[in-house]
């Protein structure tokens, strides 16, 4: 009797026991820091001074919304995310459609196209810094061959954003391509056969069959890319350090400066929370679009 009850208790606890390491891990590395960030965001805390944290209520949030540079960074980030992810999605879909066909050497192409993605963002940044160098870079060399005057890719306030977006597109379009190829290859064959019998054109097949069937995969890819692009730091830091004149200073660079250069941890925490809410908001829009229509 006694033993039987024990075993029931044990059996009840086994799932919990097995989950425990993950729960502890999550608690220590996610929940605790998150709570701490919230506490920090309501405090004034200069990391370079050995002073106690002082509770300042919503002042950090107030300061953040008063700061014109915050709005600049927010705008820069939104432009960056929208243009990079937008172009990556269109290019990615096109390339995925091409590479989902089986042709001579298609596996080689599929392998080659993921190369940029394998490159560490910092390394990609350094390489592109050389390529885009106005004097010695190969980009301006090609322009000179075409008799186009050289461009100041990273130092011109109107071009710097185009350049950093371009590097992002180079690096992350392959990700979109890979996910979409997987999506395309898993589509059912029957609708296509039916369409061919009905005499649909290639465009009609794409627009009325492929695109609707692939919609969820596309949306998930966009969702992942939006979240990722929103947090961009390393690549831009290497390329422009947020310059010239803050034209490429995305939110994460702005927060980095305030937190780890100016050591105003309270303000940095408040800004991080604002950024977190913006990312959650954007993701919710995409997740809403993903929900099944029937429900």
Partner 1 sequence: MKPRKRFVFRAGLLTMILMSIVGLNAGFALSAEKPYTGVTIRISADATPPTYAKQKLVGEFEEKTGIKVIFDILPYPSMLEKQMAELVAHTGYYDIISHSSHLLGRFAAGGHFEDIQPYLNNPELKYPGFDIEDIVPNLRVQYNEWPKGSGHYYGLPWLADAYILYYRKDLIEDPVEQANFKAKYGYELSAPKTWDQMRDITEFFTRDTDDDGLIDFYGYTLAGAAGNPGLNSFLQFYLAFGGKYYDEEMKPVWNSPAGIKALEFFKGLMKFMPLGVTGYSYGEVITELLNGDTFAISNWSQFWAMCDDSTKSKVVGKIGYIPVPKGVAEKPHMGGWGFGMAKDSKHKEAAWLFMQWVDSVATELKTVPEGASPTTFTVFMDPELNRKFPALRAIFDSIRVGEAHPNHPESEESFRYGDTAVLKALTGILSPKEALDEWVEKEYKMLKRHGYYKK
Residues making contact with partner 1 (CB under 8 A): 46-50, 63, 133-136, 150, 152-157, 160, 240-246, 257, 260-263
Report in angstroms how near the CB of residue 274 gets to partner 1 at its nearest: 19
Report in angstroms how near the CB of residue 237 gets to partner 1 at its nearest: 9
Report in angstroms how near the CB of residue 161 gets to partner 1 at its nearest: 13
Report in angstroms how near the CB of residue 77 gets to partner 1 at its nearest: 17
Q: Closest Cα partner for 176 from 82, 113, 106?
A: 113
CB–CB of 94/206 below 8 Å?
no
Structure-token pair, residue 109 = 């192409």
Nearer to partner 1, 133 or 283 (CB): 133
Beta-bridge mates of residue 46? 264
CB–CB of 89/217 below 8 Å?
no
Angle, alpha carbons 290-280-122 (nearest 5°): 105
Phi, psi values for residue 264, rounded to 5°: -85, 85
Query: What whole-number distance in Å separates Cα of residue 251 and Cα of residue 64?
Result: 12
Query: What whole-number distance in Å separates Cα of residue 247 and Cα of residue 268?
Result: 20
Nearer to partner 1, 230 or 237 (CB): 237
Nearer to partner 1, 215 or 241 (CB): 241
Sign of CA dihedral 148, 152, 153, 158: negative
Nearer to partner 1, 92 or 242 (CB): 242
As a whole number of Å, the end-to-end CA separation of the chain is 49
Structure-token pair, residue 217 = 């995969």
Please give the sequence-ordered ranges of beta strands (E in DSSP) within 61-188, or none if there are none: none
Report in angstroms how near the CB of residue 128 gets to partner 1 at its nearest: 12
* Crossing angle of the two packed helices 106-113 and 68-99, in degrees rounded to 10: 170
Nearer to partner 1, 12 or 261 (CB): 261
Report in angstroms how near the CB of residue 166 gets to partner 1 at its nearest: 15
Which stretch of DSSP H or E encloses residue 285?
helix 265-290
Nearer to partner 1, 116 or 243 (CB): 243
Report in angstroms how near the CB of residue 10 gets to partner 1 at its nearest: 43
CA dist 66 to 27, 71, 245, 264, 268, Å? 34, 9, 19, 16, 14
Query: What whole-number distance in Å separates Cα of residue 129 and Cα of residue 146?
Result: 21
Report in angstroms how near the CB of residue 47 gets to partner 1 at its nearest: 6
Nearer to partner 1, 225 or 247 (CB): 247
Nearer to partner 1, 144 or 204 (CB): 144
């Amino acid at each position: 009797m006694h033993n039987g009850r024990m075993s029931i208790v044990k059996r009840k606890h086994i799932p919990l026991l097995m989950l425990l390491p993950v729960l502890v891990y999550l608690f220590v590395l996610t929940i605790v820091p998150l709570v701490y960030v919230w506490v920090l965001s309501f405090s004034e805390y200069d990391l370079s001074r050995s002073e106690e944290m002082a509770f300042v209520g919503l002042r950090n949030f107030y300061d953040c919304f008063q700061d014109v540079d915050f709005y600049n960074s927010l705008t820069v980030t939104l432009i960056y995310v929208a243009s990079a992810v937008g172009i990556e999605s269109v290019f990615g879909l096109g390339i995925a459609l091409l590479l989902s066909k089986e042709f001579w050497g298609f596996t080689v192409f599929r392998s080659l196209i993921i190369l940029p993605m394998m490159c560490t963002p910092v390394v990609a940044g350094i390489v592109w810094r050389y390529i885009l160098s106005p004097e010695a870079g190969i980009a301006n060399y090609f322009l000179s061959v075409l008799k186009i005057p050289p461009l100041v890719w990273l130092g011109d306030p109107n071009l710097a954003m185009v350049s950093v977006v371009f590097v992002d597109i180079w690096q992350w379009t392959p990700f979109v391509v890979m996910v979409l190829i997987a999506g395309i290859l898993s589509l059912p064959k029957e609708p296509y056969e039916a369409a061919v019998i009905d005499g649909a054109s290639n465009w009609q097949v794409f627009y009325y069959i492929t695109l609707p069937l692939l919609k969820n995969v596309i949306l998930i890819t966009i969702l992942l890319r939006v979240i990722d692009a929103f947090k961009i730091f390393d690549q831009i830091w290497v390329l422009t350090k947020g310059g010239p004149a803050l034209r490429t200073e995305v939110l994460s660079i702005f927060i980095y400066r305030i937190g780890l250069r100016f050591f105003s941890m309270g303000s940095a925490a408040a800004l991080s929370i604002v950024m977190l809410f913006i990312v959650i908001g954007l993701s919710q829009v995409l997740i809403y679009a993903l929900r099944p229509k029937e429900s």
